[in-house]
Structure 1
């Protein structure tokens, strides 16, 4: 089974950080993607806002200065999370992040 996503967009929620009991640093931010995609013979507006999760000090150093409006490209895999209220959330777990601006 394959689960790999590459998505570019603008940061719409600035990074926040937490540390697990094992001492692993986790970062979280959100990106927003807007584009026009071709589907059959039609143009379709595509829009998504997705939660991005990072892991480790190396990625923390990369994203700590991100601000809303920065353009990035994120590669990683999708995973299900739950909000504090138990609502399912799809999150993009970043394996590679590139700053585009």
Structure 2
């Protein structure tokens, strides 16, 4: 089964990092994507804000200087997370991140 997403957008929530008991660095930030898409011959405005999860030292080094407004391209897979109050959140687990500006 395929679970792969590539999306571009602007960082709208700066990265925060933590280290697991096993010593693995995890990061999280959010991006907003806005575009105009074609659907059945009509223009449609598309907007999504998505949570991005990173794992490992290499991802931390790449994302630690991201600031709100930076343009990025994120490739990875979707997974369900829970917020602190128990609400379901869809997040992209980044396998590749590229800063575009």
Q: TM-score range by the shorter chain?
A: over 0.9
User: Given the alignment of the two structures, is residue 49 of structure 1 paired with residue 49 of structure 2, yes or no?
Assistant: yes
Give the ranges of 4+ consecutive aligned residues of structure 1 lying more than 6 Å apart after TM superposition: none
Match of 1:85 in 2: 85
List alignment gaps of at least 5 residues for structure 2: none
In the superposition, the TM-score normalised over structure 2's length comes to 0.99
Matches within 5 A, 1:1-101: 1-101=1-101
Aligned-pair CA distance for 1:26: 0.2
Residue 65 of structure 1 aligns to a residue whose secondary structure is coil
The alpha carbon displacement at 1:84 in A equals 1.0
RMSD: 0.4
5+ long unaligned stretches in structure 1: none
Corresponding pairs, count? 101
